[in-house]
Amino acid sequence: MPTSPSPAISPHSLLSRLDESAFTARHLRIYVTVLIGHFLCGFVINLTGVILPGVIKTFHLTSEAAGGFSSALFAGMLVGAAAAGTISDRFGRRVPLSITVIVYAVFSLAAVFAPSFGALVTFRALQGIGLGAEIAVVLPYIAEFVPSRHRGPLVTAATAAWLIGLPTAAAVGTAVVPAFGWRAMFVIATVPVVVGVFMLATLPESVRYLLRRGRLADAAAIVAGLCRGGNPTEAPAGRPAVPESGGTVRTLVARHYLRYTIAIWFMEVCAGAFLYGLSSWLPSVLEGQGVDLLKSFGYTAIITAAGVVGAILAGQLINRIGRRVVLGGAFVLSGVFCLAWGTTSATGAVIVLGSLATFFGSGLAGSTLFAYASELYPTASRATGLGWAAAWQKVGGLIMPVLVGFILAAHASQFLFFLVFGIISILAGIAALVATFETRGRTVEQITSEITGEGAPAALAPARS
């Protein structure tokens, strides 16, 4: 049952205070908690490249079968991302987010004891459901509770934390796999269960979700404990907050959003193909070029760490020059550096060109894309929009590892490996430049209002000072 609203409080003033607040210690505690869970999500996803050489040897896999193993994870992530967004828009952010972290940790434990390759693939796919669902819920949650001026930097910083999982997995694998085998990496990947339980016990619900459900007093209590400062103001009287359903895909493909949705989905396919194809196969490709396995892990860690730096810088750039320019320019530059990367085998050039490609591709472009997807859609469909964007990213993750497996099995030129990555990045850059709605400097309610050409519902429209 919706909580009866207090006459002294309006949704307008709560949203105004939420958006204009200073970043408080309470904000920080919530943010760090979800950041740890998101980092561990990135770590568990990116185990593939670290464990793949060992899995191939243990189960005597062909390149095609190994590509299928990589894609099983992304098949699960696709399902999880698409489903969790809708569930979160209908039932809230806090509980679904906590459960997703617990799910992917539990199936890490199952993978430790997988008796066969088929069982391992099954557990990895089920684990992928939790991992994909976590991505779909965590970024809308961050976007909805942080002050507006911090939204872009903090969402991209969360993506940076996720990306840190890749070089961390490579670094941990360098120490753990030679000594204890690839299964030991899944033992480490059970740690997130503790974080998931802590989330369930401590995180508040999204204020915007509560307002949409008509729970004004509950939302007011959270804002009172969370925010400091701001200039809450009252908007003219309008229709009261009433419970709304949410999580409909129809919103994403409605007339006002269709162009932007198609562009996001296309860019996500390209981004997923780049990120997951590279992270899954790079150690094996380097090993095939004669690089020692341990050194290939080290080179992978260095190259992918550059993406983390790009994601951290993205938050500042998108607040200064906007989402469209950062997305378009970064994708195109990443593609150019991929093409150059494929022309050399010299160690120094491989590291420098690879680092530049991931700095612009998975770093600047990838993190900006998720920040953009987490703020473009209205609150009632925000997690659904992010979930479907993440699902299309997993389509790229499904396709590319298998494609690369066939390329390697055919003993094609190594340049072809990098050519594919270069082309998809450039195409994503073109899509960004021609079909991105600029969201810089706007609250999420203002974004909705400008796209639809209508005023936001009175219950949710932000107050203007």
* Confidence check: pLDDT of 33 > 60: yes
Residue 10 confidence (pLDDT):
83
Determine the Cα–Cα distance for residues 265 and 267; give it in Å rounded to an integer: 5
State percent of the chain over pLDDT 90.
Answer: 39
Judged by average pLDDT, the poorest of 2-6, 23-27, 59-63 is 2-6
Position 237 confidence tier, pLDDT thresholds 50, 70, 90: very low
The CB-side HSE value for 97 (13 A sphere, CA atoms) comes to 30
The CB-side HSE value for 349 (13 A sphere, CA atoms) comes to 10
- Tell me which of 410 and 362 has the higher pLDDT: 362
State percent of the chain over pLDDT 70.
Answer: 87
Domain 11-452 CATH (choose: 1.25.40.10, 2.40.50.100, 1.20.1250.20, 1.10.10.10) = 1.20.1250.20
Residue 346 confidence (pLDDT):
78
Type of residue at 387: G
Residue 465 confidence (pLDDT):
30
**Length of the chain, in residues:** 465
Judged by average pLDDT, the poorest of 95-104, 151-160, 227-236, 253-262 is 227-236
Distances, alpha carbon 381 to alpha carbons 166, 254, 309, 465, in Å = 30, 12, 31, 27
Query: Other C-beta atoms within 10 Å of 445: how many?
Result: 22
State the average pLDDT over residues 330-353: 88
Residue 159 confidence (pLDDT):
86
Residue 288 confidence (pLDDT):
61
Determine the Cα–Cα distance for residues 136 and 138; give it in Å rounded to an integer: 6
pLDDT tens profile 175-206:
898 899 999 999 999 999 999 999 999 999 99
Q: Are 375 and 264 in contact (CB under 8 A)?
A: no
* Confidence check: pLDDT of 164 > 80: yes
Tokens standing for residue 325: 């320019």
Residue 5 confidence (pLDDT):
45
Distances, alpha carbon 453 to alpha carbons 157, 240, 446, 448, in Å = 31, 21, 10, 8
- Of 293, 305, 288, the closest CA to residue 354 belongs to 305
Tokens standing for residue 202: 């401590």
Q: Are 165 and 72 in contact (CB under 8 A)?
A: no
Question: What is the model's pTM?
Answer: 0.76
Burial group, residue 304, by CB count within 10 angstroms (0-12, 13-18, 19+): buried
Query: Other C-beta atoms within 10 Å of 410: how many?
Result: 10
Residue 303 confidence (pLDDT):
83
pLDDT tens profile 378-397:
888 888 898 899 889 888 87
Q: Are 44 and 104 in contact (CB under 8 A)?
A: yes
Determine the Cα–Cα distance for residues 56 and 65; give it in Å rounded to an integer: 9
State the average pLDDT over residues 306-329: 91
The 3-class secondary structure across the chain, one letter per residue, is CCCCCCCCCCHHHHHHHHHHCCCCHHHHHHHHHHHHHHHHHHHHHCHHHHHHHHHHHHHCCCHHHHHHHHHHHHHHHHHHHHHHHHHHHHHCCHHHHHHHHHHHHHHHHHHHCCCCHHHHHHHHHHHHHHHHHHHHHHHHHHHHHCCHHHHHHHHHHHHHHHHHHHHHHHHHHHHHHHHHCCHHHHHHCCCHHHHHHHHHHHCCCCHHHHHHCCCHHHHHHHHHHHCCCCCCCCCCCCCCCCCCCCCCHHHHCCCCCHHHHHHHHHHHHHHHHHHHHHHHHHHHHHHHCCCCHHHHHHHHHHHHHHHHHHHHHHHHHHHHHCHHHHHHHHHHHHHHHHHHHCCCCCHHHHHHHHHHHHHHHHHHHHHHHHHHHHHHCCHHHHHHHHHHHHHHHHHHHHHHHHHHHHHHHCCCCHHHHHHHHHHHHHHHHHHHHHCCCCCCCCCHHHHHHHHHCCCCCCCCCCCCC
Query: Other C-beta atoms within 10 Å of 244: how many?
Result: 16
Q: Residue ranges of the domains in the chain?
A: 11-452
- Of 39, 31, 37, 250, the closest CA to residue 143 belongs to 31
* Confidence check: pLDDT of 232 > 50: no
Determine the Cα–Cα distance for residues 160 and 42; give it in Å rounded to an integer: 10
Burial group, residue 122, by CB count within 10 angstroms (0-12, 13-18, 19+): middle
Position 464 confidence tier, pLDDT thresholds 50, 70, 90: very low
Residue 186 confidence (pLDDT):
94
Q: Are 18 and 207 in contact (CB under 8 A)?
A: yes
- Tell me which of 425 and 278 has the higher pLDDT: 425
Residue 461 confidence (pLDDT):
41
pLDDT tens profile 334-345:
999 999 988 887
